Amino acid sequence: MKEEEEGPPNRELYALLHISPEASDEEIRKAYRQWAQVYHPDKYQSPNMKDTATENFQRICQAYEILSDENKRKIYDIYGMEGLTSGLELGTKLNKAEELTEELERLRKLKEQEKVLAHFRPSGTILANMSLPHLLHGHGIMRGMAMTSSVQSQISKHNTLSIGGNLAVNGNSGGGAATIVFGHRLSSVSSIEFIGSAGLRSLIGVQTSRNISSHLTATMGLSMSLRDGSLNLSNTWVRQLSETASGNIQLALGSDSAVSVGWRKKNQKLSAAGELKCGIDSFAASAHYNHRFSSKSHGRIVGKIGSNALEVEVGGGRKLSNFSTVRMLYSIGIQISLSNALMQIKLGKKTCTTQICKQLAKVFKWRKPNSHMNFFVNLFLCSFCNKI
């Protein structure tokens, strides 16, 4: 059977059945019945012969399945097995050879594009920060902008290279960073990455991952800051809880030591995640929920709370094409920081700074001057001032 496969391109299936490419449907059926009887596995007792016969019988059946179908046979005659195994199906039944050729040419170009993207995947985002209060006060609607761009390339079977950068501008200040990551697959269950970054956070590091079991993955990373030489160690464990949900726990030691626990769920209609992080002198919790209304549009809500901040974000997005998506988000937050005799309260885009005990009450009175809330706020401030 190995010798029978040799021949001109797109003729192997005809050679398997010992027929010519111009054979009629009746000749194809007769050839199939003949060779199916010859290679039927039940006719052989020896295990080796039985395995060989089974393999040849399956190929005979595959050849008959393709050549007995008019459309599949046309596809095979023009593009060979690649046209059949591309994973793409014709949307409508095409009877004319010209229509079939045109459709197959489109599918071939799409397949070539997929092959290029498999080895070279660029991505990027542009985020604009706009403020309506600033516009009303005559300061312009744009407050800042952020851009990220990255390119990942499969340079070999086991090696990948990723190069990326980001740039952010907020008012009169800004910054940027560039990152390069080289990944190598050590085996089917383990990999290692070497990381280098220059910019606001200049560092070098190494990270390795291993699948402990079919449901558990462990990752350990070590990085060194090029600014002060400090070392940071991280250890992350990810557990697959179900087909659509996973949980993780992370331990970080270094300049920002903390323990965090997270949960994530994702399916066709929604994605949700939550994280709880406890540091030496900080605390933070966050959660987000995305709901897909259709194949092109989605909604999003995010909540964050910490030892000195509270933020809520609501928005949505729509897919413009296979490679681009536009999103619009609105966020409102409260940020509180204590420093000796000052407290700063930030609500959305409006900031007030006053002295404790003398002016703090005025900051809260803009809500409802005679409400019960003001009574408790003033009572708390008086009690707080008496203890200073």
- Whether 198 maps to a domain, the answer reads no
Domain end among 40, 66, 85: 85
Q: Do 364 and 286 lie in a common domain?
A: no
Per-residue pLDDT tens digits of the chain, which is 388 residues long: 433 333 344 578 888 888 888 888 888 888 888 888 877 777 777 777 777 778 888 888 888 888 888 878 877 877 677 667 654 444 444 455 566 667 777 777 777 776 666 677 788 888 888 777 778 887 778 888 889 898 888 888 889 899 999 998 887 888 889 999 999 999 888 999 999 999 878 899 999 999 998 889 999 999 999 888 899 999 999 999 988 899 999 999 988 899 999 999 988 889 999 999 998 888 899 999 999 998 889 999 999 998 778 889 999 988 887 667 888 888 887 765 544 333 333 343 333 333 333 444 444 443 334 434 444 344 444 444 444 3
Q: Do 330 and 295 lie in a common domain?
A: yes
- The whole-angstrom separation of Cα 219 and Cα 367 is 48
Q: Do 345 and 265 lie in a common domain?
A: yes
Q: Do 282 and 376 lie in a common domain?
A: no
Which residues in the chain belong to E strands, given as ranges?
120-130, 142-154, 159-170, 173-185, 190-199, 203-211, 216-225, 231-240, 245-253, 258-266, 270-279, 283-292, 297-306, 309-319, 325-339, 342-347, 350-355
pTM of the model: 0.53
Q: Do 323 and 370 lie in a common domain?
A: no
Number of domains within the chain: 3
Q: Do 304 and 334 lie in a common domain?
A: yes
Contact indicator for 311, 301 with CB cutoff of 8 Å: no
- Whether 92 maps to a domain, the answer reads no
Q: Do 336 and 245 lie in a common domain?
A: yes
- Whether 165 maps to a domain, the answer reads no
* Domain ranges, residue 388: 356-388
Say which residues have a Cβ less than 8 Å from residue 301's Cβ, sequence separation at least 6: 288, 289, 312, 313, 314
Using CA atoms, how far residue 253 sits from 73, 135, 201, 228, 382, in Å, is 63, 43, 17, 16, 41
Q: Do 10 and 30 lie in a common domain?
A: yes
Looking from the CA of 92 toward its CB, the CA atoms found within 13 Å total: 6
Domain end among 35, 52, 85: 85
- The whole-angstrom separation of Cα 311 and Cα 334 is 6
Q: Do 349 and 365 lie in a common domain?
A: no
Q: Do 348 and 269 lie in a common domain?
A: yes
The CATH number of whichever domain residue 38 belongs to comes to: 1.10.287.110
